[in-house]
Amino acid sequence: MPKCGPVIGRDGEIREVADTLLSTGASARTLLLVGRAGTGKTAVLEQARRTVVGEGARVLRLRCHHGANAPGAAALAEGVHQVLTKVHDRWSPARTGAVRRTRLRNSGRGGELTLLSTLGEVIADAARHLPFALVVDDVERMPSPTASALGLLLRVFRPAGVPMVLAGRPAQPGDGGVRQLTAAADRLLELPPLRPADVEALVVRRLGRPVEPALVTAVVRALGPMAGTPEAVLSVLDSMAERGDFLELDGHVCLTEPEEALRLTTDVARLSRLCWPAGPPDATALDAAAAVARNLEHAEIRLDDLHRLKPGGPRRSGLVDRTLTPLVADGILSVDEDRRVAFAVPALAAALRALPTRHAVSSLHALITRSLTDRLGPETAGGGCPRLADHVAAAGAELDDALAVDVLLAAARTDARSDWSRSVRAYSCALRRLPPHDRRTPGVLRESAELSLRHADHPGALALGEPLFACLAAPSAEQDREGLEHLAEVPDGEWVEHLAEAPHPKDLEHVAEVWALAALHEHRLPPCGLDAGPQGRAAVEHAPAVAGFAALVGPYGLGPVTPRPGAVAPRGPAAAGPRPGSGPLPSAAELRLLAGAAGSRAGLSDVLPPGADGVRTLDRLRNATAHADLAGALASLLGDRYPGAGNSTAALYHAMVRAYLQGDWDRALASARRIEARARTRGIAAGPAQAARALAADIHCARGELGHARAWLELVPAAVTHPLVAWARLGVRYWSGQVEEAMEAALDEVRRARRSGLLSGIEKVLVRYLSFALLEAVPQAMGRALDELEALDEEVGSPMTREAVLLGRGVVRRDVDSALAALRAVRRRGDAYLELLCHLGLAEIGDDSERWLAEATRGAQALGIGRATRTSLGHMTRRRTLVLPRVRPARHELSEEDIELTTMVSRGATNRQIAARLVWSEKTVERRLTRLFQRTGCRSRVELAAAWLDGSLARRDLVPDGVRGAAGASFPASGPGTPSSRR
């Protein structure tokens, strides 16, 4: 991992320290630089020293922390003696001799003042002959007598003309020596926390690559009040690097770890120095702190909980007095107005949890639970104190299941409205303790599923899969026997009430539907069919609607498409149309409409809402399906009934699609990286989002970053057949020089999508195919593409197919009215990239070419592909032979400096050698290389050298004409295998 260079965010402090070191003569001053551990005092001091030394000043370091002499004036004299040995002139022996004689003559306690007076005179005399400044670091480690002697020297016997800078932590109570130094200094300079922008710059510099904003946000949240402490930030980054929590996508570093798992280093010495201001804790105190961190991991603890414990428990053992109180005094623990105990720095708590401890953690939570249940009873305690559910979960096997379930269910039902997330946790814990055949299990599953669905908690609903399938697999006879045994124990007259509580078959069916919907939101594949194992067969047998949810996998790009003869999803028993007000779950007919929206109009009339509302709904559905946007499709279909996508993977992808259509491609790429990182994050059940990968690949392809585009497409399995994936593959293959393969593969994927019933989105593939056929001047292919578009529009009849047909007629038949109609329709719908294509077409066939050229240029610049498009527009104005200009995007020709940098990299030069040759700093070399990697799509120096040597950069129009490569040959702007050379 690269080390940090100059100090970030401390320019003002470094300047002030440097000015102090340069203030020799009559203006000499004394500065005390203070800051908490890890704030960068030593780094600031060292950077300022380097700065003034570079200007010709002389800076000496005074060390008097350790030595053979006793602390006090003698130790200070020893440090001064070492300083004087570095000031070489003809009077040096006399000065050192004077110090030695004074120490020998005044070795008693009363001779300290004489010794300090001599030290002041000798230092001042040395500075008059050879000016210098003194620095003293880590003054808090200086013994108190030595610090007192230094403070007395500065106040009474200050050496004239000698500036001095001292650095250390703020004075602690009882530290009289540091307090004297504070009083003796002319100026007290305190290092403030880093600003958020400086924290981000520090993270970028340490990792050596651009980072996702979400990573910086996670680090800042994990550090809390220590977020502005540089060493704390670096400690978290080092810990993440050791555990492999980073993922690099598009040259950006992403986080693949849940935010709550970020921790400081587990090196005890470094952790103690960073977080314990009063001094490092002993082994016993550190062990107790680790136990407290584990106790606070899963449950909220208040001081009242500990005070209620019986005598002889943890309170009498000193948990409060000997463990919590010192941690609170050190600022490590905080206690709010409700007496809740919490760690001020979450990353410290996570680091302490990783340390071993001899204390039993679950027993304390069991004691806290019993302190209430013994007095109030389980149900009363759970209902009156819902937070008790977290203690039950943390207690584990310390509590028996019967007691735990009663407390958990009472707490969950009480907390469902006030704190639904804690209620979901309580339900989940109760389900882990309830056996599948328990008569209460279906009802608990139903309550938990309803709560998760109501609050769009799709990860929570997805977690119900294991207990749901276990309940579905439980023998019905065993459930019946359990119910009869339970009813035999019920007193007479209460049978009706208990029969009303008996599980209903619809409960499990409803839960299965909620789970299937959550699986889709998290881009998982709900099991369905006979080949899906016993769980899938049980789900389909008890909840036939699960098959309807599974039919959405292919249309929304979540996995392979199962070929079927029809273009519409299989009909279910309900075909009377959507049920208005039927709740947040789509009905069987609505599921058919969701799946059928990807196909033709045939067979959808019976599930469409009547009148114009149905047409608008279908149009919105087709637009969402073309981009594999499940959340957008559900919102269009369900309207106010849709509970929302929450924080699911589908919600992230919905935001990505909106950003893409609006032309905010940087934000769209950031969403793609978040989706991919989340798919690889431990602890979050999220599957791959193939559509997000395809969309990210196409954005990079449009910008000319083919390396990144290919990297994204390699993540998409070859078995995935979706028009959006085919569209991206066509673009990447074509602009990589694989013209014939790209065109043939695109037609093959279109045919496969048609056989699978996926028609929505094919128009995007055909429009791209048409544009490439025009570039290659293949009239037969152009005619075939237009015929395919017209046939598709006849079969589908969506706004996107109509726009594609109008655009195709405009550019092929030179029909300006059709092209203008396509542009108006695209603007109403909102699609920045297709609008750019309309502008380019009108620039070729329209009467007002200059206007459309200007519009195309502005649009291309907004999307990040301006320069290459301007080059293409120049070709149009010169040749006027192509209807559609090249949509190959952003490829900025490399500058002369970039060419020279690339040449030196290809020859194996190091950063230091490059810096010396180009008269740059090594930091500038690293920055220019990072930018060069981003522009060329290369991920390493090896890839960059290979692309330069084999002519790939030249074939991609990144190298100006006439530039000679390393082999001595002049590379043309377009190689023989590229599309441009074939024109």
Dist. CA 733–CA 888, nearest whole Å: 12
**Can you read off the two tokens belonging to residue 705?**
């970053």
d(CA 766, CA 772): 10
Burial of 391 (0-12, 13-18, 19+ CB in 10 A): buried
3-state secondary structure of 887: coil
Q: Are 778 and 734 in contact (CB under 8 A)?
A: no
CB under 8 Å to 841, separation ≥6 — which residues?
Answer: 807, 810, 811, 819, 883, 884
Q: How far apart are the first and last CA of the chain?
A: 47
Positions of the chain with pLDDT lower than 70, given as ranges? 1-5, 66-69, 88-111, 173-177, 310-321, 475-505, 526-543, 560-582, 603, 605-606, 611-612, 682-687, 866-893, 919, 950, 955-957, 960-983
**Placement of tokens 């703020």 in the chain:** 170
Given the DSSP bridges, would you call strands 30-34 and 164-168 parallel, antiparallel or unpaired? parallel
Q: Containing H/E element for 448?
A: helix 441-454
Q: Going by C-beta distance under 8 Å and a sequence separation of 6 or more, which residues neighbour residue 808?
A: 766, 767, 770, 785, 786, 789, 790
DSSP 8-state code for residue 211: B
Structure tokens at 912: 């230091």
Taking Cα atoms as reference points, which of 531, 423, 510 lies closest to residue 468?
A: 510
Cα four-point dihedral sign 270, 276, 281, 287: negative
* Distance separating alpha carbons of residues 94 and 841, to the nearest angstrom: 91
Place of tokens 């940087």: 666
Greatest alpha-carbon span in the chain: 113
pLDDT at 360: 79
pLDDT at 589: 85
Where are the strands (E) in 496-627, listed by range?
A: none
pLDDT at 983: 33
> Phi then psi for 804, rounded to 5 degrees?
-65, -40
CB-CB contact of 575 with 589 (8 Å): yes
Tell me how far apart the alpha carbons of residues 240 and 243 are, in angstroms, rounded to a whole number.
Answer: 5
Q: What is the pLDDT of residues 702-718, one digit of tens each?
A: 888 888 999 999 998 88
Token pair for residue 15?
Answer: 């300047």
- Which whole-number Å values give the CA distances from 366 to 313, 361, 446, in the listed order? 12, 9, 28
Contact 622, 800 (CB under 8 A): yes
781 C-beta neighbours (distance < 10 Å), count = 17
Which residues, other chains included, contact 957 with Cβ-Cβ below 8 Å and sequence gap of 6+? 868, 871, 888, 891, 893, 973, 974, 980
In 185-265, alpha helices (H):
196-207, 213-223, 230-243
Residues 426 and 447: their CA atoms lie apart, in Å, by 11
d(CA 820, CA 430): 62
Rounded to an integer, what distance in angstroms lies between the CA atom of residue 763 and that of residue 980? 25
Quote the DSSP letter at residue 317. Answer: T
* Number of C-beta neighbours around residue 748 at 10 A: 12
Tokens at 214, concatenated: 């979400």
Alpha carbon separation from 628 to 600, 719, 722, 762, 863 (Å, rounded): 16, 16, 9, 12, 22
Provide the pLDDT for residue 534: 56
Closest CA to 177 of 266, 271, 65, 269: 65
**How much is the pLDDT for 357?**
85
Which two structure tokens, joined as six digits, stand for 505? Answer: 């078959």
Task: List the Cα angle 954/957/959 in 5-degree steps.
Answer: 55
Q: Whole-angstrom Cα distance, residue 102 to residue 76?
A: 13
Cα dist. 61→19, 42, 46, 568, 599 in Å?
Answer: 17, 12, 11, 82, 79
Residues 6 or more apart whose CB falls under 8 angstroms from that of 966 comprise 903, 906, 907, 948, 949
- Please tell me what DSSP assigns to residue 72: T
- Name residue, tokens 């071993």: 356
C-alpha to C-alpha distance for 380 and 336, rounded to whole angstroms: 26
Adjacent-strand bridge partners of 164? 30, 134
Question: What gap in Å lies between CA 207 and CA 2, rounded to an integer?
Answer: 7
Q: What span, in angstroms and rounded, lies between the C-alpha atoms of 844 and 883?
A: 6
Number of CB atoms found within 10 A of residue 302's CB: 16
**375 contact partners, CB below 8 Å, separation of at least 6:** 381
Distance (Å, whole) CA 944 – CA 931: 12
DSSP 3-state helix, strand, coil percentages of the chain (rounded to 5)? 60, 5, 35
Lookup: tokens for 843:
């620039």
CB 382 within 8 A of CB 409: yes
Could you tell me whether strands 59-61 and 164-168 are parallel, antiparallel, or unpaired per DSSP bridges? unpaired
What are the Cα distances from residue 881, in Å, to 447, 805, 806, 812?
Answer: 67, 22, 21, 12
Task: Write down the residue that tokens 């030593």 correspond to.
Answer: 42
Contact partners, residue 110, CB within 8 Å, separation at least 6:
none
Please report the sign of the dihedral spanned by the C-alpha atoms of residue 742, residue 747, residue 751, residue 757: positive
Tokens of 204: 């970028």
pTM for the full predicted model? 0.80
| Residue 277: CA count within 13 A, CB half-sphere | 19
- Taking each helix axis from N to C end, the angle separating 762-775 and 723-735, rounded to the nearest 10 degrees, works out to 20
